[in-house]
Structure 1
Amino acid sequence: MSDFDYDLFVIGGGSGGVRAARTAAATGARVALAEESRLGGTCVIRGCVPKKIMVFASGFHREVENARGFGWDAQIKGFDWTGFRGNLHDELDRLEGVYRKMLDASDVEIFDARARLTGPHEVTMADGTAVSAKHILVATGGSPVRPDMAQADLGLVSNDMFLLDRLPETLLIVGGGYIGCEFACIMAGLGVKVTMYLRGGQILNGFDDECRGLVAEMMRDHGIDIHSGTTIMDMDRADAGEHLPTGGQSDAAMGAPRMERPEPHPQPDLADNPKSGTRAHAGCPIWVKATNGREQVFDHVLFATGRRPNTADLGLEDVGIELGRKGKVKVDAYSQTSVPSVYAIGDVTDRVQLTPVAIRDAMAFTRTVFLGEDCPVDHELVPSAVFTQPELGTVGMTEEQARDDREIVVYCASFRPMRTAFIDRPDRTLMKLVVCKETRVVMGAHLVSENAGEMIQLIGIAVKNGLTKEQFDATCAVHPTAAEELVTMSQPVRAG
């Protein structure tokens, strides 16, 4: 019999933590898990799942417009945010229940409490309950952060977007990463007038330049007002009065009732269940002065300015665990920290911040620690998608990265897809393969297209397995589809 209460104690009930707990328990290990907020974590409760449902909701307006072009006598009325939000959170409640049932079925003991390390083999709950474990796994994820500036607490972060009491008429998004761009497209699709401020010159820094340029162009075509080289210099409540620019208010702000200033958001920023009546944002108009001198009033400001690992007050440094930049947990290739009994996976390590990566980290951890296999994590050639409209799918090196690494040739096709060309819409699709000149291996694939996320999942299999351009070409095209371009591009457009 072990000297410990558990073989594994998991701190964090998100996708990675739950997968690790369940797979470890399946080996016969005694497992417990602590979650201070809601089972499901960022992905299920305040990230991927509610965001994708909002993506679906935001696309119907354009679908009805498209239907008219195809001969349907179609029309759509106003969007019922309150009804949609209720249905959304009913679904999140259902999914949280599914996670709880899966853990119960796996005989994982659940502590609905905040937990922190009080020793290399000890975890203590907020109520003082202390337990011991042979292994401890930190899977606490990350949280959105606000910029370090006065009045930043007036702005929202991504967690808050699912809790709005009502849709704003105007929204400023600060930041041009994938979270900012996705919410810009969502809110614009729901009828909100969206403005974006970017510190850099283009959205989606780190993605393929050609692809992000096309996404930006399409976002502007959909009415999103993008300002590059711009950020907030000052902000305040519009009803504070003294900062108001002459003629600078939106009609919505001018007619809005005076509201109390929201309480500052604690860090880490965890959105609560709206059924509890907390953290649902009615908001107040916000006056903003930009670095380009522009002054304007918005119903809401969303800071999409990055995320940081949730490691504050977990007791990690107290037990000797080494932390890195932004508080990330430093780990080796097997997710082991500087304290041998403690491991960390997922966003808290700030390696690749994607839900499927956290799940794969969890599976590698279980195989290494509980099955005795040599299973380091694999973060190479991870496909991903940005759910803008149109979507961006990517796997492998961008053209810019590959060109710095070796000689390449680039195959690219940009065209108007049949579905929207028929009704004379300006939508464009881009398909791009980055190929090593010497070996002919496809080093990267990048798509801007409707359903690019679905396509890149399948293309990722080919790229992950090192297929050559000739092997792509040997695959017969499916016609008529947009994806057939991936196997019919016969001539490179450039080399580098």
Structure 2
Amino acid sequence: MPDFDYDLFVIGAGSGGTRAARVAAAHGAKVAVAEEYRVGGTCVIRGCVPKKLLVYGAHFAEDLKDARRFGWMVPEDLQFDWQCLRENVMAEVDRINQAYTNTLKTNGAEIIEQRTTVSGPNEVTLADGTKKTAKTILVAVGAHPQIPHCEGHEHGITSNEAFNLDGIPKRILIAGAGYIANEFAGIFHQFGAHVILMNRTKDILRGYDLAIRDRLLQISMMKGLEFRFDATFEKIVKLDDGCLEVHMSGHDPAVVDLVMFATGRIPNTKGLGLESAGVEMTERGAIKVDDDNRSTCPSIYAVGDVTDRIQLTPIAIREGQAFADNLFGKGGGKVDYACIPSAVFSHPPLAGVGLTESQARQKFGSVRVYSSDFRPMKNVLAGRDERALYKMVCDGETDRVLGIHMIGPDVPEIIQAAAVAVKAGLTKTQFDATVALHPTMAEELVLLK
């Protein structure tokens, strides 16, 4: 048997790579993890975690206004300190980054703080030229924001830079209509910016239930967000006063202070040297893998966003766990990609699990849809017209719940428990037989008509 420097060499210390390295090391493998930036990856450093903290901060804008109806003497001239929030969020990112680092070290994994590329089936090359060998190489380098190719695109930013702005722009144009675009649209709007959402089609949040995303669109427009549909970039011009003039198809130019691209994410495989080991990739640069996360090179595996299967942190973590258990543990690790719950932390948030109404009708033909369209109790007393909408999609023949889709306060928290029921194949009758917990938002799930 060849003598390798490591049993496992992981390139990328994001959610998937960190989990795989930690578990493999705990199983007794000699593990090294290479990370060119910071341990934690997109989710911890420039994604889910700091974004959710900004969402919390943005919610106070409406909560403080509503508080007056609940008897709190909130002054009219409230001031928001962006620098304070930004620094506190970055401090929390630093804390979690250190926690991830300590976890790897505690479990015996070596951390190499250098960019690393693949230079053979069992060899990697560090940025300083050092070469290391490993019996198995795991690529977990994630993805990066896609930037449209248009004149002046260098004047825009992505979600990566949004967390470190010097201040909140008065006017911002966000390109895209997925979860990143809608989440940051809500954040910037609540912080006082005028937000324009620009999208190349008429649809927002494709993949979510139509009625739910239509409700978000209605509420967003009611709040003052501006939408430019069927629009593509022509050019972005920086004016003498520093403002940006965005020219787009089908619409008049928009003059804003900031342009943010939220138009998808591309796997980070460029320049990684994977071709040297015979690793095949898709047209988008994603690593092709089988059900066990193995690439076309038998000694090289990949997990997480770099495979472009489902770009979600919990999926990367599960893939990393399964990989490590299968290669260094007792085996049997498989990731089930069915019934994955997801949420958009917009204002208000939406969430879903299972089949949408359209998907269910295409697959099963006969379906029954139950819904509740209501004003949350808090909104009623606050004098806010914003309504929540819950939908349950069931098989018309068996009564089995095929999907649950929601928009309203706290629905991401509710959908996690509801996802267990959908995954377990429970029926509408079983939901109906469950006593409601009153008064709550979640009780609507067992009262749907």
- The TM-score with structure 2 as length reference comes to 0.97
* 1:335 and 1:377 in contact (8 A); partners too: no
Q: Supply the distance in 1 between the matched residues of 2:99 and 2:376 (Cα, whole angstroms).
A: 39
Deviation (angstroms), 1:2: 6.8
* C-alpha contact 2:400 2:425 (8 A) present in aligned 1: yes
Q: In 2, Cα distance between the equivalents of 1:171 and 1:56? A: 20
1:348 aligns to 2:349 (yes or no): no
Partner of 1:285: 243
The answer for the alignment partner of 2:135 in structure 1 is 134
Considering only aligned residues, what root-mean-square deviation do their CA atoms show, in Å? 1.2
Q: Check whether the contact 1:289–1:296 (CA below 8 A) recurs between aligned residues.
A: yes
Contact kept? 2:196, 2:226, Cα under 8 Å: yes
The superposition leaves residues 201-223 of structure 1 with CA deviations (integer Å, 9 ceiling, x where unpaired) of 13111211000000111111222
The 5 Å alignment of 1:187-336 reads: 187-239=188-240, 256=241, 284-336=242-294
Identify which of 356, 379, 382 aligns with 2:337.
Answer: 379
Aligned-partner SS, 1:132: strand
Counterpart amino acid of residue 246 in structure 2: V
Aligned to 2:382: 423
* Equivalent residue number for residue 105 of structure 1: 106
Unaligned residue ranges in structure 1 (runs of 5+): 240-255, 257-283, 491-496
Alignment coverage as a number of residue pairs: 447
State the 1:104 CA deviation. Answer: 0.8
Partner of 1:60: 60
Letter aligned with residue 389 of structure 2: L
Partners of 2:318 and 2:400 lie apart in 1 by 25
Query: In 1, are the aligned partners of 2:150 and 2:233 still within 8 Å (CA)?
Result: no
CA positional deviation for 1:372: 4.2
Q: Structure 2: which amino acid aligns with 1:23? A: V
CA–CA distance in structure 2, aligned partners of residues 167 and 481 of structure 1? 35
Deviations 1:188-233 (A, max 9, x none): 0111111111211131112110000001111112221112222322
Amino acid at match of 1:215: L
Matched, 1:479 2:431: no
Letter in 2 for 1:37: Y
Q: Could you list the runs of 5+ residues in structure 2 that have no partner in the other structure?
A: none
Rounded to whole Å, the distance in 1 between the matches of 2:217 and 2:186 is 11
Output the CA distance in 2 between the equivalents of 1:188 and 1:141: 29
Q: CA offset at residue 131 of structure 1? A: 0.9
Match of 1:26 in 2: 26
The answer (yes or no) to whether the contact 1:238–1:297 under 8 Å persists in 2 is no
Amino acid across the alignment from 1:88: V
Query: In structure 1, how many angstroms separate the alpha carbons of the residues matched to 2:171 and 2:7?
Result: 52
Alpha-carbon distance in 2 for matches of 1:232, 1:334: 40
Match of 1:411 in 2: 370
Q: Secondary structure at the match of 1:327?
A: coil
- Does the C-alpha gap of structure 1 residues 135 and 161 become closer, same or farther in structure 2, counting only changes over 3 Å? same
Q: Secondary structure of the equivalent of 1:78?
A: coil
Q: Does 1:9 align with 2:9?
A: yes
Aligned counterparts of 1:4 and 1:234: Cα–Cα separation in 2: 52
Q: What are the superposed Cα offsets for residues 277-316 of structure 1, whole Å, 9 maximum, x if unpaired? A: xxxxxxx411112212312210001111111000011111
CA distance in 1, matches of 2:382, 2:93: 37
Q: Aligned partners of 2:29 and 2:277: how far apart in 1?
A: 24
Equivalent residues of 1:15, 1:40 under 8 A apart: yes
The share of aligned pairs that are identical, in percent, is 46
2 CA distance for matches of 1:70 and 1:202? 37
Write the distance in 1 (CA, Å) between the matches of 2:388 and 2:217: 13
What is the identity, as a one-letter code, of the residue corresponding to 1:79? F
TM-score (norm 1): 0.88
1:346-374 Cα deviation digits (max 9, x unpaired): 00000110000100001111121112423
Alignment-derived partner of residue 360 in structure 1: 318
Aligned mates of 1:300, 1:65 — CA distance in 2: 27
Question: Is this contact kept in 2: 1:287–1:296, CA < 8 A?
Answer: yes
Separation (CA, whole Å) in 2 of partners of 1:466 and 1:349:
29
